[in-house]
C-alpha cells in the first residue's frame, strides 16, 4: 500500500518538474488565463482606424471601464475583477502603447491623444453611460475623460492617480529632481525587481520565472516606454509639467468621485487625495493603510468593497 507521504512527495516532484520545464512565457500566459477565468473575463479585440485594441470583458450591469497605469496592462485588474464582475459589466483595456494593443513608436501618447482614442473606443462599443476608473497614469486619463465627457459618466474612480500638481513630492519625484532615473522605467530584470519592491508595501507572490519574463518584457518595451513617459509627464528639469492637471480640469465636475489611495505610495504622494477633494468637494476619499501604489493588486477585495459601497451609497441617496 502506497503511503500518503509518498503520494504527496510524488505530486510535489511532478509540480516542481513541470515548473522547471515550462517556458517562462507559457507559464505567464497560463497564470493570466487562470486569473481571467476566475474573474469571468474574456479577451476581446477591436480595430479602430489604424489602432488595434485588446481588452478583457465580463460580468453584467452598468459598464465599468478600467484603465491601467504606466508600464502595465489590462491584467493589472484580474485580481480585483472577481469582486466587480458580480455587479458591473467590467471592461479592462490595454491602452494604446501597452499590453497587446498597438505600439506605434511614432504616435503621440499625451493625455489628450489617449482621451481621444478612449472616446473612439467607448463609441465603438456603444458605451453611452459608464463608470470609469483608472490607476496612476490610467487615473490621469480617466479624470480627463470625465472632465471632457461628463454626460457619459455614471461615476469616476481614481486609484493613486497621476497628474495632480497641488500635492507633496513623492519619493520618486524627489529622486527625479535630484537627477536620478525614473524607477518606473525598468530596463532589465534587476531594475524590474527593484521596481516591484518599490510599488508595494506587501508585494504579492510572483514565481521567479515570471519575474524573469517580465524583466525581459521591460527590455523590449524600454524605448517606447521612455517616449510615453515623456509624453505623459512632460518632464522639465526633473519636474513634471502636466498638460491637464486633474486638480484643474475637474473643477466644476459634479458627478460622484471616489479617490482610493495607498497611504504608503512611494510613486505618487497620497496628499494628492486631499488636493482632489479641494477641487471636487463631493469627492469621497478611501485612504488605505499599509498599501502602496497598486491597491487593486495589493488589497483587491478591500479596494473593490470600498467602490461597491460607494456606488451603493450614491444610488440610495
pLDDT digits (tens, 9 = 90+) for 33-53: 999 999 999 999 999 999 999
Beta strands 89-93 and 42-48, pairing class: unpaired
Residue 5: pLDDT over 50: no
Yes or no: say if 193 and 212 are a contact pair by the CB < 8 Å rule.
no
Return mean pLDDT, the chain: 93
Going by pLDDT thresholds of 50, 70 and 90, the confidence category of residue 7 is very low
Strands (E) in the chain, as ranges, are 42-48, 51-59, 63-67, 89-93, 130-135, 153-159, 257-262, 284-288
Selected residue with higher pLDDT from 119 and 3 = 119
pLDDT at 12 over 90: no
Cell numbers for 56: 478583457
In this structure, how many other beta carbons lie within 10 angstroms of the beta carbon of residue 214? Answer: 19
Side-chain-side CA neighbours of residue 131 (13 Å): 27
CA distance 175 to 295: 23
CB 270 within 8 A of CB 261: yes
Q: What is the mean pLDDT of residues 288-294?
A: 98
How far is it, in rounded angstroms, from Cα 86 to Cα 92? 15
Which tens digit of pLDDT belongs to each residue from 65-101? 999 999 999 999 999 999 999 999 999 999 999 999 9
Model confidence band, residue 316 (pLDDT cutoffs 50, 70, 90):
confident
Average pLDDT over residues 161-171: 98
> Residue range 55-64: average pLDDT?
98
Residue ranges of the domains in the chain?
32-177+244-316
Range in 230-234, 242-246, 284-288, 313-317 the model is least confident about: 313-317
DSSP state for residue 83 in the 8-state scheme: G
Q: What percent of the chain has pLDDT over 90?
A: 88
pLDDT in tens, 115-153: 999 999 999 999 999 999 999 999 999 999 999 999 999
What's the pLDDT at 18? 42
312 burial type by CB count under 10 A (0-12 exposed, 13-18 middle, 19+ buried): exposed
Spatial contact of 212 and 189, defined as CB atoms under 8 Å apart: yes
Three-state SS at 288: strand
CA 179 – CA 171 distance, rounded (Å) = 13
Question: Which residues face 89 on adjacent strands?
Answer: 59, 63
Q: Are 216 and 190 a contacting pair, CB within 8 Å?
A: no
Per-residue pLDDT band at 16 (split at 50, 70, 90): very low
Of the pLDDT bands very low, low, confident and very high (cuts 50, 70, 90), residue 22 is low
pLDDT at 317: 72
Tell me: pLDDT of 179 over 70: yes
* Domain boundaries 32-177+244-316, CATH class: alpha beta
The predicted model gives 257-271 an average pLDDT of 98
- The angle subtended at Cα 119 by Cα 163 and Cα 156, nearest 5°, is 50
Mean pLDDT, residues 188-211: 93
Please state the rounded mean pLDDT for residues 29-34. Answer: 94
Contact yes or no for 261/160 (Cβ under 8 A): yes
Q: Is the pTM of this model over 0.95?
A: no
Amino acid at each position: 500500500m502506497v503511503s500518503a507521504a509518498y503520494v504527496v512527495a510524488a505530486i510535489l516532484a511532478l509540480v516542481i518538474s513541470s515548473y522547471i520545464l515550462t517556458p517562462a512565457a507559457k507559464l505567464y500566459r497560463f497564470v493570466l488565463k487562470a486569473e481571467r477565468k476566475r474573474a469571468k473575463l474574456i479577451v476581446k479585440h477591436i480595430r479602430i482606424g489604424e489602432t488595434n485594441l485588446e481588452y478583457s470583458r465580463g460580468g453584467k450591469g452598468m459598464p465599468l471601464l478600467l484603465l491601467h497605469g504606466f508600464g502595465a496592462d489590462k491584467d493589472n485588474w484580474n485580481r480585483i475583477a472577481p469582486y466587480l464582475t458580480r455587479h458591473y459589466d467590467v471592461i479592462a483595456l490595454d491602452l494604446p502603447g501597452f499590453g497587446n494593443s498597438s505600439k506605434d513608436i511614432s504616435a503621440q501618447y499625451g493625455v489628450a491623444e489617449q482621451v481621444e482614442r478612449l472616446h473612439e473606443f467607448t463609441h465603438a462599443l456603444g458605451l453611452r453611460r459608464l463608470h470609469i476608473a483608472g490607476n496612476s497614469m490610467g487615473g490621469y486619463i480617466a479624470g480627463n475623460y470625465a472632465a471632457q465627457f461628463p454626460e457619459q459618466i455614471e461615476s469616476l474612480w481614481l486609484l493613486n492617480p497621476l497628474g495632480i500638481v497641488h500635492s507633496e513630492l513623492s519619493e520618486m519625484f524627489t529622486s527625479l529632481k535630484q537627477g536620478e532615473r525614473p524607477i518606473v522605467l525598468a530596463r532589465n530584470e534587476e531594475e524590474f525587481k527593484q521596481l516591484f519592491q518599490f510599488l508595494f508595501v506587501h508585494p504579492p507572490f510572483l514565481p521567479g520565472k515570471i519575474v524573469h519574463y517580465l524583466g525581459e518584457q521591460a527590455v523590449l518595451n524600454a524605448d517606447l516606454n521612455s517616449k510615453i513617459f515623456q509624453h505623459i509627464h512632460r518632464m522639465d528639469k526633473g519636474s513634471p509639467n502636466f498638460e491637464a492637471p486633474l486638480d484643474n480640469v475637474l473643477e466644476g465636475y459634479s458627478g460622484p468621485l471616489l479617490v482610493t489611495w495607498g497611504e504608503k505610495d512611494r510613486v505618487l504622494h497620497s496628499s494628492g487625495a486631499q488636493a482632489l477633494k479641494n477641487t471636487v468637494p463631493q469627492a469621497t476619499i478611501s485612504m488605505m493603510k499599509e498599501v502602496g501604489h497598486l491597491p487593486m493588486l495589493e488589497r483587491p477585495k478591500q479596494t473593490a468593497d470600498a467602490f461597491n459601497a460607494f456606488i451603493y451609497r450614491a444610488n440610495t441617496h
